[in-house]
C-alpha cells in the first residue's frame, strides 16, 4: 500500500528536525535532511501500526474486517 504524508523539515544548528502534519506525535531528526526524512518515515510507520493494533483490541471477533485503499 502506498501512502503519502507531509514532512515539515527545519534546520536546528547541526541537526535537521521534522514532524508530520497528518500524524500527530510523529517526529524525526538527523544530521542530514535525508536521514531526518527516513527517521520521520519510520516514526510514522510505527505510530500507525501501534494505533491500528490499539484500535483493533475493541473490535468484536465476528466483525468483518476489510482493507480499503485511499488515493
Q: Let me know the angle formed at the C-alpha of 16 by 45 and 29, rounded to the nearest 5 degrees.
A: 35
Contacts of 41 (CB under 8 A, 6+ apart): 28
Query: HSE-up of 10 (CA within 13 Å, CB side)?
Result: 5
* Largest separation between any pair of C-alpha atoms in the chain: 53
Write out pLDDT tens, residues 4-60. 999 999 999 999 999 999 999 999 999 999 999 999 999 999 999 999 888 888 899
pTM of structure: 0.81
Amino acid at each position: 500500500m502506498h501512502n503519502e504524508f507531509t514532512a515539515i523539515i527545519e534546520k536546528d544548528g547541526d541537526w535537521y528536525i521534522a514532524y508530520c502534519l497528518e500524524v500527530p506525535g510523529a517526529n524525526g531528526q538527523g544530521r542530514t535532511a535525508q536521514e531526518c526524512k527516513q527517521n520521520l518515515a519510520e516514526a510514522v510507520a510505527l505510530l500507525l501500526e501501534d494505533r491500528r493494533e490499539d484500535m483493533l483490541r475493541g473490535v468484536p471477533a465476528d466483525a468483518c474486517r476489510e482493507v480499503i485503499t485511499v488515493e
